[in-house]
A and B are shown apart, each in its own frame.
Chain A
Amino acid sequence: MFGWLTQTAALAALNLRSLPRRPGTAAVAMSGIAALTGVFAGVLSMATGFEKTMSGSGQENVALVLRSGATAELNSRFSGEQADIVRYAPGIARDVDGDPEVSAELFWVVNALSKSSGAEANVALRGIQPPGYGLRNNYRLAEGRPFTPGRFELIAGRGARNQFAGLEPGRTIRFGKTEWLVTGVFEDGGSVFESELWCDVNVLQSAYQLGNGYQAVRARLDGADGRARLEEALAGEQRLSVDVWSEREFYAEQAEDTATLIRLIGIPISVLMAIGAVFAALNAMHASIVARARELATLRALGFGSFPTALAALLESVTLAFLGGVLGCAVAWLALNGFQASTLGASFSQVVFNFAVTPDLLAQGITAALVVGLVGGAFPAARAATARVTVALREL
């Protein structure tokens, strides 16, 4: 008599070799699980992609100063004097000429036509000051030329350029009463800034009668304790009441609500689909075991143990689930990875992001598939093992 391990291996080999003879059953189990994994990976790749865009935005050593209580640049407000208080506060790095590396900015929202839906969408129009380019480490002009300060000119982020109509360099686009010339396209390592349009902050002020008001002040921090020094100095300042964010933290927080919403909806859907897939697998495995009841009983009569019989059946189910999982992941990866979409972010403007089917996510998808295979195979396997040999042999 040989050990249960050898027995299991022999039985499993027998099962797997007979799979092609049961193509329907195997295909059903596999496709059900593939559908599950595909949806799972698809939904989560959306959340992951969105988070990736947001978390790739902002830098640890750049401070974002907003009016106290404001959770978005959109809701923040500074007068020119207040912005200057921040500009010359301690804790901020200076450039080679000794000027503070600070960009006081406006975050405006304008309407542009979305190419995919054909509907109007809110797009961020950001007014920056010259140091603003340097505050984005990955900034790179990809096409055309920069906007000329003092003119109604703008450059479009790569994502904005792809998603919204009329942003080709050389064209003019109208927002309200003003006409803007698109002079170039910029990239910033896939960050949220690529969803925006940039222009001269002073031009934006005059276009919308904003006087010398600003909404946010960005500043490069001077050393590790820069933020603490800046925070302390501004806290003691009577003329303004602000929050000092690390830019990185700020965007991580902005990502949270949307990613949570996607997960909140996506995960229950995936769980329910998984339960459905479990029943599909159960049915398929059960059918496969019932169909081979006689064969299994004969093997049992020949002396194969019940534990190896069950294990081999389970192995078959897990194998099918694995194949289904791989199929689903492959489809999700081929169809969705890098797919560009945009949604309304926390700043009431569109954030362009790419679906990200990461290795991590694929591993999760396949794990889910394997769990379904295990659960779906357990009951039929137990049945295969416990069926009385005499009864099974008599059954046709």
Chain B
Amino acid sequence: MNRFTLIWRNMWRKPVRTLFTMLAVLVVFFLFTLLEGLRLAFSLSDLGAEAQERLLTSHKVSLIMMLPEAYQSRIARLPGVDAVSHSTWFGGRYQDHPEFAQYPVVAEEYLSLNAEIDLSEEYRQAWLANRGGAVVGRPVANQYGWQVGDRVPLKSSIWTRANGSNVWEFDIEGIFDDSGGGMNSGVLLFHYDYFEEARAWGKGTVGWYVTRGDGSIPLEGLMAGIDAEFANSPAETKTNTEAAFAQEYARQFGNIGFIVTLILAAVVFMIMLVTGHTMAQSVRERIHEIGVLKTLGFTSGSIFRLTVLEGLLLVLPVGLLAMLLGWGMLNVVTERMGAMLPGGLKIGTYSVVLGLSLMLAITLGSVLPPVIRALRLDIVALLRSS
């Protein structure tokens, strides 16, 4: 027998109640983890350093308007520009799945500009050698079960081929990982030459430009420089970092973060109530026993510690287990819906800290008031209470 035995036995005073409380904590922190994953996915707070440094130049009026191909060489000549490449939204879908990102690109340029694309040399050579070839991020390949060597049809809602069809076929020549912030993880890349030759309209135009500075002038200056170059031309441009573009896009879905936070608050409110009420009740039930312990020579401090530890023991292990399960679930979802959620669903250190703080708050919030009230009473009063 040691203090832990005392805590443990007290915790299981009413086993059914303890079990239900634990299950409620389990469900709620599982939910908490999923919601955190969702919130982070929409906040795009962690797109990686490369997305903060690369610039994206689009048509000033809107991202959907095309820019002349000729802008590339003009951007490349600007001071402070290290490399520039372009991509275009293809708008394809595989079978009946939702649209995901496919870009026609100039392979060597795009790969060197997006160094976080982890494509093996073997795949790279194979892709370069095949005009109709494509490489694809692992999450997409996983979701659709694509393997190297497969020939996959994508139906574009935007681009028709010269022959009138809008179904395009690509040979999967490689699968890559995104070693950076995930901007490129859910993407299919294919050759611009092939695209340019086959498309029925819009020849000579691209969706947007991606630029990397050489560090000689600050990013703001570079952005302003690019936009100034095309000011008063038929297609004026707007340049910002990739991360800023992505966040602006995510924000357009409405304030998802706010809605999720509201739901989170409702969830937390619920758990606070359930565990708080039962834990407080369990402490109130043993006021008399607290008197007995004090009679035996236990100090207020040690009884306080025992009770708080018991509360933590009830909440923390189950809460952490729930977060672990939630994390596992996020990984499963990420695996299954890689094309829709290229960045995947994940939680960060912040989420873990937040989860732990919530667990602490719930425990202390429910245990402290009755314990403090009990310890304020003198032993005689404690013993006299039934």
Cβ-closest chain A residue relative to B282: A287
Q: How many Å from the CB of A12 to the closest CB on chain B?
A: 23
Q: How many Å from the CB of A244 to the closest CB on chain B?
A: 17
> What is the interface of chain A, defined by CB distance below 8 A to chain B?
24-25, 27-28, 31-32, 35-36, 38-39, 42-43, 46, 67-72, 74-75, 77, 108-111, 114, 116-117, 119-122, 175-177, 208-209, 241, 257, 265, 268-269, 272-273, 275-277, 279-280, 282-284, 286-287, 290, 341-344, 348, 350
The contact of A120 among B38, B248, B263, by CB within 8 Å, is: B248
Q: B255 at interface (Cβ–Cβ under 8 A)?
A: yes
Residues of chain A within 8 A of B157, CB atoms compared: 69-72, 75
Q: Is the CB of A341 within 8 A of B27?
A: no
Cβ-closest chain B residue relative to A286: B16
Q: Is the CB of A280 within 8 A of B270?
A: yes
Docked Cα-Cα span, A122 to B238, in Å, equals 14
> What is the interface of chain B, defined by CB distance below 8 A to chain A?
14, 16-17, 20-21, 23-24, 27-28, 30-31, 34-35, 38, 60-65, 91, 98, 155-158, 160, 164, 166, 201, 232, 234, 236, 248-249, 251-255, 259, 262-263, 266-267, 269-271, 273-274, 277-278, 281
The contact of A119 among B63, B251, B263, by CB within 8 Å, is: B251
Q: Is the CB of A290 within 8 A of B266?
A: no
Residues of chain B within 8 A of A75, CB atoms compared: 91, 157-158
The contact of A32 among B14, B155, B156, B270, by CB within 8 Å, is: B270
Q: Is the CB of B62 within 8 A of A111?
A: yes
In the complex with contacts A176-B61, A279-B24, A31-B16 CB distance below 8 A: no
Q: Is the CB of B254 within 8 A of A342?
A: yes
Cβ-closest chain B residue relative to A107: B64
Residues of chain B within 8 A of A110, CB atoms compared: 61-62
In the complex with contacts A122-B62, A176-B60, A276-B28 CB distance below 8 A: yes
Docked Cα-Cα span, A354 to B71, in Å, equals 42
Q: How many Å from the CB of B284 to the closest CB on chain A?
A: 10
Residues of chain B within 8 A of A348, CB atoms compared: 63-64
Q: Is the CB of B253 within 8 A of A283?
A: no
Residues of chain A within 8 A of B234, CB atoms compared: 209
The contact of B269 among A31, A70, A279, by CB within 8 Å, is: A31
What are 7 A-to-B residue pairs whose CB atoms are below 8 Å?
A: A31-B269, A39-B266, A71-B157, A110-B62, A177-B232, A283-B21, A290-B14
Q: Is the CB of B20 within 8 A of A273?
A: no
Q: Is the CB of B255 within 8 A of A117?
A: yes
Q: How many Å from the CB of B258 to the closest CB on chain A?
A: 9
Q: Is the CB of A117 within 8 A of B24?
A: no
Residues of chain B within 8 A of A177, CB atoms compared: 60, 232, 236
In the complex with contacts A72-B157, A119-B248, A176-B236, A280-B273 CB distance below 8 A: yes
Q: Is the CB of B274 within 8 A of A343?
A: no
Q: Is the CB of A32 within 8 A of B201?
A: no
Q: Is the CB of B270 within 8 A of A277?
A: yes
Cβ-closest chain A residue relative to B271: A276
The contact of B281 among A27, A279, A287, A343, by CB within 8 Å, is: A287
Residues of chain B within 8 A of A273, CB atoms compared: 31, 266-267, 270
Docked Cα-Cα span, A273 to B266, in Å, equals 9
Q: A70-B157, A177-B232, A273-B31 are in contact. List 4 more A-B contacts (CB 8 A).
A: A35-B267, A68-B164, A69-B157, A69-B160
The contact of B20 among A71, A176, A282, by CB within 8 Å, is: A282
Q: Is the CB of A343 within 8 A of B253?
A: yes
Residues of chain B within 8 A of A257, CB atoms compared: 98
Residues of chain A within 8 A of B252, CB atoms compared: 119, 121-122, 343-344, 350
Residues of chain A within 8 A of B28, CB atoms compared: 276
In the complex with contacts A75-B91, A119-B248, A265-B38, A175-B21 CB distance below 8 A: no
Residues of chain B within 8 A of A109, CB atoms compared: 61-64
Q: Is the CB of A67 within 8 A of B160?
A: yes
Residues of chain B within 8 A of A31, CB atoms compared: 269-270, 273
Q: Is the CB of B201 within 8 A of A77?
A: yes
Cβ-closest chain B residue relative to A257: B98
Q: Give the most central of A280, A286, A287, A290: most B CB within 10 Å.
A: A280
In the complex with contacts A32-B274, A342-B254, A343-B254, A208-B263 CB distance below 8 A: no
The contact of B274 among A70, A111, A280, A341, by CB within 8 Å, is: A280
The contact of B65 among A32, A67, A208, A241, by CB within 8 Å, is: A208
In the complex with contacts A25-B277, A72-B157, A120-B248, A344-B24 CB distance below 8 A: no
Residues of chain B within 8 A of A70, CB atoms compared: 157-158
Docked Cα-Cα span, A36 to B267, in Å, equals 8
Q: Is the CB of A35 within 8 A of B270?
A: yes
Docked Cα-Cα span, A171 to B91, in Å, equals 36
Residues of chain B within 8 A of A241, CB atoms compared: 164
Residues of chain A within 8 A of B35, CB atoms compared: 269
Docked Cα-Cα span, A302 to B281, in Å, equals 30
Residues of chain A within 8 A of B155, CB atoms compared: 69
Q: Give the most central of A68, A109, A176: most B CB within 10 Å.
A: A176
Q: How many Å from the CB of A281 to the closest CB on chain B?
A: 9
In the complex with contacts A69-B166, A72-B157, A272-B64 CB distance below 8 A: no
